[in-house]
Chain A
Amino acid sequence: MTALAALIRRDIKIALRVGGGALIGVLFFLTVTVLMPFAIGPDLAVLTRLGPAILWLGALLASLLTLDRLFTADHEDGSLDLIVMGQTPLELACAAKALAHWLAAGVPLIVATPALGLLLNLDASATSAVALTLLVGTPALTFTGMIGAALAVTLHRGGLLLAVLVLPLSIPVLIFGVAASQAAITGPLSFGTPFSILCALSLVSLVIGPFAAAASLRHGLD
């Protein structure tokens, strides 16, 4: 347990320090959302209708932005070798790394959502619906994205590959995340149905992600 706690603490510390990726994600999220009203135009009704989709897209791309470094950084400086050799099962170590990434890069996105909702003419209930769906949906993005990050370790310059590998996997999360937010804002669908599926997607990825990532790391070590 201390090993996993140490790993999580270390990764969060690195992400929050100078050169870490945590704030870059939020900054990117902010940029995408701020630019949208300029591109779409000042039609408030349209902005409200598109708001949840824009926030979700921004959060998706922002969480992918820093995910490709999840394992490559450790691979390049040799830390990954020692993590593989450790007594901690690699699956748990992968899960810990993903959790740390989510805490450092995912949670700030959720915290920023209310402020950004204002820019998209979303009222308080709509914003909290989006924030809630992001809260249960972003872990799924991180844990499925981790599989791509592990595959990218063996390939130099795998950053773009990560996007190609991970984006199709994140489509279901995007669909149900936006559907749940829309349902809460405009109806007619009940909020519970897409929201439950979103929760299910997150839980499935929490289980599959660490195993798939660990298997690909073991296979790819050289």
Chain B
Amino acid sequence: MRLSGRQISCIRGGRGVFAGLDFEASSGDVLAVVGPNGSGKTSLLRLIAGLLVPAAGSVLLDGGEAERTLPEQAHYLGHRDALKPALSVRENLSFWRDFLGGAAGDAEQCLTAVGLGHATHLPAAYLSAGQRRRLSIARLLVVRRPVWLLDEPTSALDTAGHKLFVGIMREHLASGGIIVAATHTPLGIEARELRMGGPA
């Protein structure tokens, strides 16, 4: 499987964010998108996720499932956690498992895997920032999708959480997944860097 972008340009609010960007990642690769604030890291991830339309160029996934589009084969872990405070931890995760569909795993097991096994009945409103992030990471596990688009995935995670997440990423890569992560802090995993320029 190969994820590639060719000559991508992104324009937001009438301002060019980046132009002529090329990238490539194959199964088992981590692409770390680095660069100063405002250089378009999040824009690039949202563009791959199909949430933004490129002004020029295209993003392609070769070797994926033919009848599913790239966004349908990708997980997007953004700044916002997509959690409902009124629902319990388990309800939040079960909803995304049922909604995203596909090859789904067991919610309980995934919660245990991210260290939230003790809090499944707790309303998400009571979670700390780090626990919210862990719950979002559980979403990556509960539905199997080959491409992971991670925006500052380790923010708010403690050292143990970070270590746990590195393990989760390694497992994903070993099973042939691709990770594109925008990050300021080292991911703790060997990665190729995609350096974005300063503000255009």
Contact = CB atoms under 8 A, between A and B. Distances in A.
Interface of A: 2-3, 5-7, 9-10, 13-14, 17-20, 76-79, 81-88, 221-222
Interface string B83-103: 111110001001110111110
B15 interface: no
B12 A222 contact: yes
B189 interface: no
* Chain B CB within 10 A, most for which of A14, A20, A82: A82
B82 interface: yes
B128 to A, nearest CB: 16
A76 B78 CA distance: 12
Interface in B94-119: 94-96, 98-102
Given A3-B101, A9-B95, A17-B86, 16 more contacts: A3-B98, A6-B94, A6-B95, A7-B95, A10-B87, A10-B95, A13-B86, A14-B86, A14-B87, A77-B81, A79-B84, A81-B49, A86-B72, A86-B100, A86-B101, A87-B101
B52 interface: yes
A76 B82 CA distance: 8
Contact of A84 (B51, B84, B100): B51
B82 A78 contact: yes
B5 interface: no
A74 to B, nearest CB: 8
B95 A82 contact: no
Contact of A19 (B52, B78, B86, B99): B86
Contacts of B81: 77-78
If over half of B's interface residues share one DSSP class (helix, strand or loop), that class is named, otherwise mixed; here it is loop
A190 to B, nearest CB: 46
B98 A87 contact: no
A194 B170 CA distance: 65
Interface of B: 12, 46, 49-52, 68, 71-72, 74, 76, 78-87, 91, 94-96, 98-102
Contacts of A82: 76, 82, 96, 99-100
Contacts of A81: 46, 49, 51, 76, 78, 80, 82
Given A83-B99, A85-B49, A87-B102, A14 B72 contact: no
Contacts of B52: 221-222
Contact of A13 (B72, B91, B98): B91
* Top-8 shortest CB links A-B: A78-B80, A6-B98, A78-B82, A85-B71, A17-B86, A79-B82, A10-B95, A3-B99
Contacts of A83: 99
Nearest to A79: B82
Contact of B80 (A6, A77, A85): A77
B119 to A, nearest CB: 18
Nearest to A87: B72
B162 to A, nearest CB: 22
